[in-house]
Amino acid sequence: MSIAAEITELGASFFRRGLTFGRTGNISAVDADGTVLCTPTGVALDRLRPQALSRITIGGDHLDGPAPTKEAFLHLALYRARPTARAVVHTHSTHSVAVSCLRDVDRSNALPVLTAYYAMRVGALPLLPYYAPGDPELGPTAELVAADHHALLLANHGPIVAGADLAEAADALEEIEETAKVYLLLHGRAVAPVPDDEARRLEEKYR
């Protein structure tokens, strides 16, 4: 399957399962020639077509197709910070966004390690400061933090994740959303997260 087909299939899956809605969220992946295919601006993820994606360079030049998502700069920041990354996914998933709006969140790690899979696929989730969607001022901040973390939570906005491929990035994003859901269900109750030593062992083994 081509990278373009993978992007459209994943976008439809995200939309169908309620991981994003309306014309929100964006997806990108590095193609075989080193350019970046990304979702265009103003298109719902269930309406993507392989032949109607935007193609840009890592430097941000628009090469082909419709105008790229206004958050393409954010994807490029993660690619620069993480040279082995070949895909980036960003959604406005409801429970993750809810966590990003809480006052009492640890900004260095927005979610506790409630499951082994969270340790394996995410590890830690820094909460970045609020910026308006599409504000390029977020780029340098995201790039700096992404050097040490492949998954970020944007305040009052949603998660963004880089991965070795689209499947890996999607797995981590989905794990963030499910953990956020569990976290909110347990909020205000005494919680027994995965022990720190075990969480570190799993992260080191699988990340």
Q: Tell me whether residue 71 is one of the annotated catalytic residues.
A: yes
Annotated active-site residue 177? The verdict is no
CA distance 32 to 72: 19
Residue environment code for 85-111, b if the CB has 16+ CB neighbours within 10 A, otherwise e: bbbbbbbbbbbbbebbeeeebeeebbb
Of 71, 143, 174, 175, the catalytic one is: 71
Q: Which of 6, 79, 117, 174 is catalytic?
A: 117
Check if the beta carbon of residue 125 is closer than 8 Å to that of residue 175.
no
Which element (helix H / strand E) includes 144?
A: helix 138-146
* 3-class DSSP state of 27: strand
Residues that are catalytic: 71, 117
